Structure 1
Amino acid sequence: MRVNKFNQPIGEDLKEFELPKAPTIDVLEGKYCRLEKLSSHHIKRLYHHFKANEDAPNWTYLPDEQPQNYEAFESYIHAKIQTKDPYFLAIINRSDQDVVGMLSLLRINEKNASIEVGHIHYANKMKQTCVATEVHYLLANYIFGTLGYRRYEWKCDALNEASIKAAKRLGFKYEGIFRNHTIYKKRSRDTCWLSMLASEWSEYRMKFENWLDPFNYDEFGIQINKLSL
């Protein structure tokens, strides 16, 4: 622990730390999926998965209301395409080239080297697949390895147990609850905060890569070893 001239404990010296840049992703390529900057050519396939009725439960904890027709959905996506923060990405399954989800990088804080992942929306066919895990490996590796951020955040409604469970499985550490943090969809939200640090990523990266290795899958495509972070 460092101390100052008054013998008070102080944080790590960052005088030589180089501040990160904002994300500028065109394509992030993985074994099972790729991430592309969200664009208009993703709209039709996303609408196929996210249209009214069939996908309604997946909108409960998203900040937006579900568009009720194609025209409204098209406008919804076009608005997302235009923003730089949040910075929206589409998820493509390499096995069939289907657009199976979207998410964003947001609260991009270059000054404090902190960034968040959010607006995570998967097609039902993508859930609990290797694609759903590899997406977060690709993002974390880009955030820490390419851009040089120190802190990677995951926040969600504290009632969204599935999101919290997923974040913990991916290596995000629980930090606490911000009570009455926001109001959305005419209801109160307590927000659960989780994070991953650059200092943790080198160990996590190896575990992700071992889990994603084709040798970790049996003849039925089931993982032999679990991801344990």
Structure 2
Amino acid sequence: MSPHTPLHWQAVPSPAHTPLDGQYVRLEPLDPARHGDDLWQALQGPDSDPALWDYLPYGPFAERTAFDTWLAANAASADPLFFAVLDLSSQRAVGLLSFLRITPGDGCIEIGHIAFGRAMQRSPASTEAFYLLARLALGTLGYRRLEWKCNALNARSMRAAERLGFSYEGLFRQHMVVKGHNRDSAWFSILDSEWPSCDAAFRRWLAADNFDAEGRQKQRLEALRK
């Protein structure tokens, strides 16, 4: 497309801070009073992932007071816009994530600030949490671009982005200083034109018949996009 070709673009709405229901999880507006105890246990408890905070700009939290202060600030924020992830089988909050850099005029939005308890990692619940936000942004609201950014040293996040259907766009060298260390940021995106095939793959992967009796996937998400 020529840079001089009119786009006829109209701004889209900002995402509403309302619950999103899936088959494995429910995303709820972050509420420290409702979700705080569960999140403290999932993210800081004895069975939590010790590597969880390695590439996040905050945490870990040695004391509950500091954790609650962090949760309260997140809950009050409109951008980032935080959601708690409620596991429907246990009815407990097991993680959180957010929209951020919300730019309705350009149709650009990002998913980030991801903190999932160990029980969510590498599970249908984590995939569905991302899917619910992606579907809202690219499907329901009509955003043109969904972004994912991470520290280029964060191999888990890099793999997750590619598995979820994000395309690698490049490296922003010396992009940030986080916890006293340099961060080179890897940038990924899904465009609106790519969403229909991604959406179909997510729905097929999350279907009950894609898992055996032990909960193991039969087809990989990446394979379903081909």
| TM-score class, shorter | over 0.9
The alignment partner of 1:96 has SS state of coil
Structure 2: which 5+ residue stretches go unaligned?
none
2:168 to 164, 174, 195: 174
Give the aligned partner of residue 27 of structure 2.
35
**TM-score of the superposition, structure 2-length normalised?**
0.94
Match of 1:111 in 2: 105
Aligned residue in 1 for 2:71: 77
Q: Aligned match of 1:215 in 209, 215, 224?
A: 209
The separation in 2 between residues aligned to 1:186 and 1:63, in whole angstroms, is 10
Check conservation: 1:63, 1:184, Cα contact below 8 A: yes
What is the distance in 1 between the residues matched to 2:139 and 2:166? 17
- Aligned counterpart, 1:205: 199
Alignment of 1:1-229 (within 5 A): 1=1, 9-10=2-3, 13-15=6-8, 17-40=9-32, 41-51=34-44, 54-228=48-222, 229=225
Change (3 A) 1:11 1:138: farther
Contact 2:83–2:97 (8 Å) recurs in 1: yes
Give the Cα–Cα distance (whole angstroms) in 1 for the partners of residues 5 and 55 of structure 2.
37
Q: Is contact 1:52-1:69 (8 Å) kept?
A: no
Alpha-carbon distance in 1 for matches of 2:132, 2:196: 13
State the distance in 2 between where 1:95 and 1:55 align: 21
Query: How far apart are the structure 2 equivalents of 1:80 and 1:218?
Result: 38
Instruction: Name the CA shift for 1:208/1:11 in 2 (closer, same or farther; >3 Å).
Output: farther
What amino acid maps onto 2:16 in structure 1? T
Alignment match, 1:6 = none
1:27 is matched by which residue type in structure 2? P
Aligned residue number for residue 5 of structure 1 = none
Unaligned runs of 5+ in 1: 2-8
Matched AA of 2:119: K
- 1:46 corresponds to which letter in structure 2? L
The number of residues matched between the two structures is 221
Q: What is the percent sequence identity of the aligned residues?
A: 40
Amino acid at match of 1:191: S
In structure 2, what is the Cα distance between the partners aligned to 1:88 and 1:100? 14
User: Residue 153 of structure 2 aligns to a residue in which SS?
Assistant: coil
* 2:42 counterpart letter in structure 1: H
The one-character-per-residue Cα deviations of 1:149-185 (angstroms, maximum 9, x if unpaired) are: 1000000000001100000000000000000001110
1:91-142 residue CA offsets vs partner (Å, 9 max, x unmatched): 0111111111001100111121100011111100110110011111111110
**62-71 or 72-81, larger mean C-alpha shift:** 62-71
Q: What is the CA-CA distance between 1:148 and the residue it aligns to?
A: 1.2
- Contact 2:10–2:105, Cα closer than 8 Å, also in 1: no
- In the alignment, the residues of structure 1 paired with residue 17 and residue 213 of structure 2 have an alpha-carbon distance, to the nearest angstrom, of 34
Q: Structure 1 residue 18: deviation in Å? A: 2.5
Asked whether the equivalents of residues 102 and 120 of structure 1 are also in contact (C-alpha less than 8 Å), the reply is: yes
Structure 2: how far apart are the matches of 1:11 and 1:136?
35
